[in-house]
Chain A
């Protein structure tokens, strides 16, 4: 154990990890999807006849082939036509009205609405043979005009669903701001920002393996964040009782928010496995992932920010046109997260955010690491820099004048959030001190007077985010069992996709019970072993599941004391727990390890549901960047990220996530984007040679530091960690580039800041007062 920093490490470093694609299952078939190369069109014909003749192909179906089927092969299921993809109204992130009449088919039948939408499925003896079959499916689609941005789609000149507006949802947070506020303010800045669509791109794409068992049950293996939700949705689709389905999440190669739904391919694969009575798996490949996996972000924003002459904020308005993608799923309500978090870390008296969620001919928009909070932070923090420039104020000073004071928590924001705790100025001060702010400002001044020097800029970004989930989804389930052999089993509803739960949670339980860490084992991601659960999303693992395990440990201690009291015939108040043992308060000799207690009195097990409050982690990120104005290249010289996620369970793990997250944030700022052709098809023929993730070459020197402001609303004082970089870093980088170029019109700098964008911005007019 000692030679591995994490319990996961031994198997993952020796090739013994078990990802879904690694599992050997007898007679398993591989599914491959035939996908539309057209972004929007009417399906005229899907001819599978030739494909069915291909050697090694077991079956080929279009949507039309999967309706009106005879009774299914699998006893437990009541199969009807291939069901649509389940929508979700979870956490109010979608609405029944948004979904009505806009169902997402598992296989498109009459109409395709995004490039990559599946129109047929082939199962073969292996992936090679299934692909041979897919190549023989003849698809005829008559193209329609396509719209790929919410601004373009909002006019309803092209309708995705005949007779229904493309606008699927409208919402707002805060109260509309009277015009007089803007008219009377000393300074008002306005801007438009595009939050480009991004691909979450976990290194392992989506996976599912459905195995019909002899006893009539169905086992589903999937790299997934929410196994219980997947079980519930699949059971409903198949008409199977919940307890006939087991969902297991083995090792999962990253998720970043993108692996929590029952996707169209999942619906189809599970349906086919049941229908055929044979194991079927779908191991998404990168090309599929790049056409048909969920996207993140996707907002067109308009902002107004007003301040008095001293730089005190008066009002902030954020209008969002959000990209839902082709079907209403979580992307409908997700932009409300941006609206609710629009206030940011400032004591702005008036804040109003409005959302219009619009269908477009793109794959569905969905949470991606940060999920609504980066969009809020980037809009506000870019505007703060703009305002500072207009006022002639140092951007750090402008922020200091407006932070919600540390003594004002809990703080009710105008956009409906109640921030639990914070010390925003402390985080900014630490970030500025760490990077050497004054020294860089001096260097900037020097360079501005040296015609040979490359322009240099310093960008600030102060953020506050939300973790744990929304009301109604702030709980999870956990259990603790003590066994005769001394083992303690900890169970919870989370599912790890790389967040080290197996290391962190047992350490927490061991510390709570006072036993050696090696005695505690974690079980999660298996709906048979842990009957109820919510999963891992919204940075909730430590804050919610950690707290739930802590709570269950306390319950186990209470139960053990009661048992010992019964056994010894003493009042329970006279039984104490310490270091994994019960003992009599007065008579130390009556001590008993919990394992002995189990031997004497039978199994000891507790289960409970536990609810946490929302957490509001925060921080300050500062970037220094230089620009080559002749080529438009941006070199980040230094990045400092200061994050505060309250009490930290395992600092090395949290720091590792903060670092990796910052690199993803750099990706959004500078490199990642999906270019579309006029026909609405993504221009990504070169795969990951076209969609550019940061490589080691692009990683600047990054320093990660933390402040620790415990949360009063969670028992461990922990807030969510791991999304900070995606939230805080992009605006720091963009602000640094804007600061280097001193451009008057911030709208010229839209992410990703590719060299051509920066070169054009570098040639544009400078703001007044620029040197």
Chain B
């Protein structure tokens, strides 16, 4: 379990990094947090020719808010988002709910949100959140810069619209309305494994009716999924949350949305201990519960 040999550079500027990435004849990998990359190198499933360590590139660790947008640099670590104050408003609360599900503190001290998007594991919490909340991925190469909408970004397991010579420099999230309620629930077998299913939800209510809803599904297909069909049945509906302790009645809009997310939006694959039938059950239940969590946030 040792990495195969590779060349290594640690550029100081983005341009130097882009130059290194430009050598597309070789297998070049960007090292940010490295918590997936180095693991894969131990297993020799990845044997890069060149590793470009961006940890010394100035400015990539910036986390800034302007004009209703949060910009998250390529070196902002998972652990930063454990505090709901790291990002203002509902988005900060959603990030905090999700962040604690990512491995454990020593991994969160190194791994980065942008790195999760670059790696695009189907069980990534951040990928589904980015998709559901219409994040924009900023990439640069020696040829210039471009933006990729999250909805156009994910192509399959570990496959994205990023070209091999492109570096994701940052990720931008639009800030949801202040009165948006958020929820995030993850289902896994123990503390130490990837999610069998997780759900992120953001719910905005105007005059007692749902005006905007976003549901992101984690590990419910070969890539992150936004549950559009489930969202459709909720728009314009009244929000009535059952009393604490009560299970959602089958006819409740959140329960129905859960069923639709499971049956229409998701395309779950078989894994040991989670066949598609079981996965759909979990999706249906978790979507309902996560919407409820989000709605409780609205009503508070």
Residue pair A695, B2 in contact (C-beta under 8 Å): no
Taken together as a complex, chains A and B put the C-alpha atoms of A525 and B139 apart, in Å, by 59
CB distance from A443 to the nearest CB of B (A): 15
Mask of A690-706 contacts with B, CB within 8 angstroms, 1/0:
10111111100000000
Secondary structure at chain B's binding surface: helix, strand, loop or mixed?
A: loop
Residue pair B43, A287 in contact (C-beta under 8 Å): yes
Residue pair A692, B247 in contact (C-beta under 8 Å): no
Taken together as a complex, chains A and B put the C-alpha atoms of A605 and B286 apart, in Å, by 70
Total A-B residue pairs with C-beta atoms closer than 8 Å? Answer: 76
Picked from A697, A755, A760, the residue with its CB within 8 Å of the CB of B191 is A697
Taken together as a complex, chains A and B put the C-alpha atoms of A687 and B194 apart, in Å, by 12
Picked from A131, A286, A671, the residue with its CB within 8 Å of the CB of B2 is A131
Which partner residue on chain B sits nearest A134 by CB separation? B44
- Taking CB atoms, residues of chain B closer than 8 Å to A127 are 2
- CB of B167 closer than 8 Å to a CB of A: no
Taken together as a complex, chains A and B put the C-alpha atoms of A726 and B53 apart, in Å, by 46
Taken together as a complex, chains A and B put the C-alpha atoms of A135 and B5 apart, in Å, by 12
Residue pair B273, A756 in contact (C-beta under 8 Å): yes
Which partner residue on chain B sits nearest A683 by CB separation? B272
- CB of B4 closer than 8 Å to a CB of A: yes
Picked from B3, B192, B282, the residue with its CB within 8 Å of the CB of A692 is B192
Chain A: interface size category: 35 or more
Residue pair B1, A759 in contact (C-beta under 8 Å): no
- Taking CB atoms, residues of chain A closer than 8 Å to B5 are 128, 132
Mask of B42-55 contacts with A, CB within 8 angstroms, 1/0:
01100000000000
- CB of B175 closer than 8 Å to a CB of A: no
Residue pair A695, B1 in contact (C-beta under 8 Å): no
- CB of A631 closer than 8 Å to a CB of B: yes
Residue pair A756, B275 in contact (C-beta under 8 Å): yes
Residue pair A759, B193 in contact (C-beta under 8 Å): no
Name which of A135, A630, A673, A694 has the most chain B CB atoms within 10 A of its CB. A630
Mask of B21-56 contacts with A, CB within 8 angstroms, 1/0:
000000000000000000000011000000000000
| A692 with B281, Cβ < 8 A, contacts A131-B2, A683-B272, A756-B275 known | no
Residue pair A285, B281 in contact (C-beta under 8 Å): no
- CB of A689 closer than 8 Å to a CB of B: yes
- Taking CB atoms, residues of chain A closer than 8 Å to B247 are 452, 630
- CB of B245 closer than 8 Å to a CB of A: yes
Residue pair B273, A695 in contact (C-beta under 8 Å): no
- Taking CB atoms, residues of chain B closer than 8 Å to A632 are 278
Name which of A128, A285, A687, A755 has the most chain B CB atoms within 10 A of its CB. A755
- CB of A675 closer than 8 Å to a CB of B: yes
Taken together as a complex, chains A and B put the C-alpha atoms of A455 and B272 apart, in Å, by 26
Residue pair A690, B192 in contact (C-beta under 8 Å): no
Taken together as a complex, chains A and B put the C-alpha atoms of A750 and B233 apart, in Å, by 39
CB distance from A57 to the nearest CB of B (A): 13
- CB of A512 closer than 8 Å to a CB of B: no
Taken together as a complex, chains A and B put the C-alpha atoms of A749 and B189 apart, in Å, by 16
Residue pair A692, B193 in contact (C-beta under 8 Å): yes
Picked from B43, B245, B272, the residue with its CB within 8 Å of the CB of A690 is B272
- CB of A12 closer than 8 Å to a CB of B: no
Residue pair A132, B4 in contact (C-beta under 8 Å): yes
Which partner residue on chain A sits nearest B275 by CB separation? A756
Interface size of B in residues (CB-CB distance below 8 Å): 27
CB distance from B198 to the nearest CB of A (A): 12
- CB of A754 closer than 8 Å to a CB of B: yes
- CB of A688 closer than 8 Å to a CB of B: yes
- Taking CB atoms, residues of chain A closer than 8 Å to B273 are 673, 675, 754-757
Residue pair B190, A759 in contact (C-beta under 8 Å): no
Residue pair B193, A754 in contact (C-beta under 8 Å): no
Taken together as a complex, chains A and B put the C-alpha atoms of A132 and B1 apart, in Å, by 10
| A671 with B190, Cβ < 8 A, contacts A452-B246, A755-B196 known | yes
| A690 with B187, Cβ < 8 A, contacts A135-B4, A287-B1, A287-B43 known | no
Taken together as a complex, chains A and B put the C-alpha atoms of A698 and B273 apart, in Å, by 18
Residue pair B1, A285 in contact (C-beta under 8 Å): yes
CB distance from B257 to the nearest CB of A (A): 15
Taken together as a complex, chains A and B put the C-alpha atoms of A673 and B193 apart, in Å, by 14
CB distance from B85 to the nearest CB of A (A): 25
- CB of B9 closer than 8 Å to a CB of A: no
- CB of B94 closer than 8 Å to a CB of A: no
Residue pair A698, B1 in contact (C-beta under 8 Å): no
- Taking CB atoms, residues of chain B closer than 8 Å to A630 are 247, 281, 285
Which partner residue on chain A sits nearest B284 by CB separation? A630
Taken together as a complex, chains A and B put the C-alpha atoms of A698 and B247 apart, in Å, by 24
- Taking CB atoms, residues of chain B closer than 8 Å to A755 are 187, 189, 196, 273, 278, 282
Within 1-26 of B, Cβ neighbours of A (below 8 Å) are at 1-5
- Taking CB atoms, residues of chain B closer than 8 Å to A689 are 192-194
Taken together as a complex, chains A and B put the C-alpha atoms of A648 and B285 apart, in Å, by 50
| A759 with B281, Cβ < 8 A, contacts A286-B1, A452-B245 known | yes
Mask of B180-212 contacts with A, CB within 8 angstroms, 1/0:
000000010111111010000000000000000
- Taking CB atoms, residues of chain A closer than 8 Å to B272 are 675, 683, 690
Taken together as a complex, chains A and B put the C-alpha atoms of A759 and B189 apart, in Å, by 13
Residue pair A631, B192 in contact (C-beta under 8 Å): no
Within 533-581 of A, Cβ neighbours of B (below 8 Å) are at none
Taken together as a complex, chains A and B put the C-alpha atoms of A687 and B45 apart, in Å, by 13
Which partner residue on chain A sits nearest B197 by CB separation? A631
Picked from B43, B190, B274, the residue with its CB within 8 Å of the CB of A695 is B190
Which partner residue on chain B sits nearest A32 by CB separation? B2
Residue pair B44, A135 in contact (C-beta under 8 Å): yes
Residue pair B44, A695 in contact (C-beta under 8 Å): no
Picked from B2, B190, B246, the residue with its CB within 8 Å of the CB of A697 is B190
Taken together as a complex, chains A and B put the C-alpha atoms of A633 and B246 apart, in Å, by 18
Taken together as a complex, chains A and B put the C-alpha atoms of A285 and B196 apart, in Å, by 27
- Taking CB atoms, residues of chain B closer than 8 Å to A683 are 272
Picked from A128, A135, A287, A754, the residue with its CB within 8 Å of the CB of B189 is A754
- Taking CB atoms, residues of chain B closer than 8 Å to A132 are 4-5
Residue pair A694, B190 in contact (C-beta under 8 Å): yes
Which partner residue on chain B sits nearest A632 by CB separation? B278
Within 42-76 of B, Cβ neighbours of A (below 8 Å) are at 43-44
Taken together as a complex, chains A and B put the C-alpha atoms of A432 and B4 apart, in Å, by 57
Taken together as a complex, chains A and B put the C-alpha atoms of A131 and B189 apart, in Å, by 33
Taken together as a complex, chains A and B put the C-alpha atoms of A695 and B281 apart, in Å, by 26
Residue pair B274, A756 in contact (C-beta under 8 Å): yes
- Taking CB atoms, residues of chain B closer than 8 Å to A697 are 190-191
CB distance from A126 to the nearest CB of B (A): 9
Picked from B4, B44, B187, the residue with its CB within 8 Å of the CB of A631 is B187
Residue pair B245, A698 in contact (C-beta under 8 Å): no
- Taking CB atoms, residues of chain B closer than 8 Å to A131 are 1-2, 4, 44
Residue pair B2, A692 in contact (C-beta under 8 Å): no
Taken together as a complex, chains A and B put the C-alpha atoms of A630 and B272 apart, in Å, by 19
- Taking CB atoms, residues of chain B closer than 8 Å to A686 are 193-194
Residue pair A692, B190 in contact (C-beta under 8 Å): yes
Which partner residue on chain A sits nearest B281 by CB separation? A759
Which partner residue on chain B sits nearest A756 by CB separation? B278
Residue pair B246, A759 in contact (C-beta under 8 Å): no
Residue pair A688, B274 in contact (C-beta under 8 Å): no
Which partner residue on chain B sits nearest A674 by CB separation? B272
Taken together as a complex, chains A and B put the C-alpha atoms of A315 and B124 apart, in Å, by 54
Which partner residue on chain A sits nearest B286 by CB separation? A631
CB distance from A150 to the nearest CB of B (A): 20
- Taking CB atoms, residues of chain A closer than 8 Å to B246 are 452
Which partner residue on chain A sits nearest B273 by CB separation? A754
Which partner residue on chain A sits nearest B47 by CB separation? A135
> Can you pick out 11 interface pairs between chain A and chain B where the beta carbons lie within 8 Å of each other?
A128-B3, A131-B44, A286-B1, A675-B272, A686-B194, A688-B192, A692-B192, A754-B273, A755-B189, A755-B278, A756-B273
Q: Chain B: residues with CB nearer than 8 A to chain A?
A: 1-5, 43-44, 187, 189-194, 196, 245-247, 272-275, 278, 281-282, 285-286
Q: Chain A: residues with CB nearer than 8 A to chain B?
A: 127-128, 131-132, 135, 285-287, 452, 630-633, 671, 673, 675, 683, 685-690, 692-698, 754-757, 759-760
Q: A128-B5, A755-B273 are in contact. List 7 more A-B contacts (CB 8 A).
A: A135-B4, A286-B1, A631-B281, A689-B192, A689-B193, A693-B192, A694-B190
The 3 tightest CB contacts between A and B, nearest first, are: A675-B272, A697-B191, A756-B278
